[in-house]
Amino acid sequence: MNNRYGYVRVAAAVPRVHIADAQRNAEGALKIMEDAFKEGVEVVVMPELSLVGYTCGDMVLQNKLLSDAERALAWLMQQTEEIPTIGIVGLPVVFADRLYNCAAIFGQGVLWGIVPKSYIPNYGEFSELRWWVSGYSIKERMIRFAGQEAPFGSDLLFDIHGVEFGVEICEDMWVPVPPSSMQAVQGAKLLFNLSASPESVCKHDYLISLIAEQSSRTMSAYVYASSGHGESSSDLVFAGNAVIAELGRVLGVSERFVRNDRMVIADIDVEYISTRRTARNTFYYPEAPEMRVVEIEVDEILYQGDVRRHIEPLYFVPEDEAARDIHCREVFAIQSAGLAQRLEHTGCKNVVMGISGGLDSTLALLAVCDTYDLLGLDRKGIIGVTMPGFGTSDRTYQNALIMMRELGCTLREISIKDACEQHFKDIGLNAEERSVAYENSQARERTQILMDVANMCGGMVVGTGDMSELALGWATYNGDQMSMYGINSSVPKTLVRYMVEWYAKNRAEGALQRSLLDVVDTPVSPELLPTNEDDTIAQKTEDLVGPYDLHDFFLYCTLRRRYAPAKIAMLAGLAFEDVYDKATIIKWLKVFFRRFFSQQFKRSAMPDGPKVGAVGLSPRGDLHMPSDAQERAWLQEVTDMEQELDALL
């Protein structure tokens, strides 16, 4: 186990099976075990009845085959005495003169336990009652098998280096309440399934969805291995499925219909599984049966930094284009539904919003337009106010005008320059110093204008700030931090950009489309400092607070996954290895924690807004955080692990 970061490496393997030849199958299993150990795998599961073949039929009633299977397991355990990888293989076992379809769990020469199949199918091609007896009621029993005494029954969990796992067999997963569900509520974070499920048209996709769903419902990792090459084709064909899923997400799937051994490997984030369960106080079942926990004592397999799973750099943005399309549609729908409810409740027919020509106000404007269409309201009720200031560039100014005209909104232009200059004189501010007061007074002037215009028309001010800015506190208190409804308040900056681009490509054309795409390409800026001599933007947000792709990564890992700083830094190094070096990641991670902790007071006073994803910052819902929480321990961990990160990356 990667103790530093909470991963367990597992594998689902599909070796070639030789029908009724237990010794050859054991030799194949040995090769799998050796390969798994070389890859740092801690537990590897093989298919149902993998030591004899699932399609043996009446041959499993032959004493010769039964004794061969027992001897083959004993030989396999002897050959793996020096291998700390835990193996799970399938074989027939006779207990109290009854025949059971079983999984044997072994490692470093020890038989740690045998789990019988609980549910024996008797329909269609699955007519197994001819041979097998259900092991569902076998509890608290021991068995003498393969020269060793071991726990036997359906009440077994196994603990390897502090992580518990459970085992079920094929049909057990397909029943209304699978054994793995009970195993999970009793503590198993890893669930292994030995299967022999024949292939049929369209079955594969359903199987994958079933495995993913079971891993989601049980808040676990589900590791599935099913028979393939070598099984009899008398009536059925076996494709050899190896699948690993974690918390509803598929981490790996083997190629099917391959005529050689294959193995799917993944690192399971058991720390995250535990965190998710802890946060979900409904993860229990009072009537769950008590289970025996077998503590497996094998050498620990240590690995550092070599994480066998894909690390998404943009957690908030689906990587698949089709999924991203659905994602954008749903976020717009959620935003519109939330604002529509608020408008109906308050009786407001007018919405007032500041339109800067930047990403956030553009997304907010598009969502408000959708809301008006949903309610059947005239878009003229959307009062878009552009408020040029000292740092407004012609590029953003023109984009703001074009968008409002093309979308059919009411356009108002109110310059803040004169008002701000008078305010500077009133408070005795030297405008040449370009101080924080110089910048924030502009943001507050704009908010005052919006609020007063809303009062004049009986309207509602819709805020445009996004979740990433709220996380960093990159908003002026009682300035752009305040509104009557924050429509973007749970949309992160990385997703804002994709949503505006999606709208441009899917729902806009002509001048509107060109303007939206230019907004996407414009540097993120509050435009509070004067522009350069060539009228380009001088104040670029990401130069000041850091790249938003990194900050959104940090935000997701901190709030959704609740990772410690060291793990966040390590994963960021892997996710952005071709983009940012270690020093850059560490620098901005420190900035993230400093700002995230110190700026909570702004989030404590944030207005209502619709939650659209798994992460939110609302003090009324997702983030109950004191404004005086200290960041020192988080920053110290980042500092302490800088040298370690050098070695990892």
List residues with catalytic annotation: 48, 117, 170
Supply the DSSP string of 238-259, one letter for each residue.
----EEEEETTEEEEEPPSS-S
SS3 517: helix
Q: Are 166 and 151 in contact (CB under 8 A)?
A: no
Give the contacts of 359 (CB within 8 A, at least 6 positions apart).
Answer: 466, 493, 496, 497, 500, 519, 520, 522, 524
SS3 276: helix
Look at residues 503, 620, 622 and name the one whose alpha carbon lies nearest to residue 556.
622
Give the contacts of 628 (CB within 8 A, at least 6 positions apart).
Answer: none
Give the contacts of 456 (CB within 8 A, at least 6 positions apart).
Answer: none
Look at residues 34, 64, 172, 45 and name the one whose alpha carbon lies nearest to residue 104.
45
Please tell me the distance from the alpha carbon of residue 459 to that of residue 486, in angstroms, as a whole number. Answer: 15
Question: What phi and psi, each to the nearest 5 degrees, are found at residue 214?
Answer: -65, -40
Measured CA angle at 50 (ends 48, 55), to 5 deg: 75
Please tell me the distance from the alpha carbon of residue 460 to that of residue 485, in angstroms, as a whole number. Answer: 8
| Helix or strand run (H / E) with residue 72 | helix 63-79
Q: Are 101 and 90 in contact (CB under 8 A)?
A: yes
Amino acid 176 reads: P
Q: What's the token pair of residue 370?
A: 């959708």
Question: What phi and psi, each to the nearest 5 degrees, are found at residue 83?
Answer: -105, 115
Please tell me the distance from the alpha carbon of residue 271 to that of residue 281, in angstroms, as a whole number. Answer: 17
Q: Are 266 and 224 in contact (CB under 8 A)?
A: no
SS3 557: helix
Q: Are 204 and 256 in contact (CB under 8 A)?
A: yes
Give the contacts of 220 (CB within 8 A, at least 6 positions apart).
Answer: 180, 184, 188, 189, 190, 191, 214, 246, 247, 273
Q: What's the token pair of residue 634?
A: 């988080």
Distances in Å between the Cα of 503 and the Cα atoms of 324, 357, 376, 497 are 12, 15, 20, 10
SS3 634: helix
Provide the angle, in degrees to the nearest 10, between the axes of the packed helices 493-507 and 359-375. Answer: 60
**Pairing of the two strands 122-123 and 110-116:** unpaired
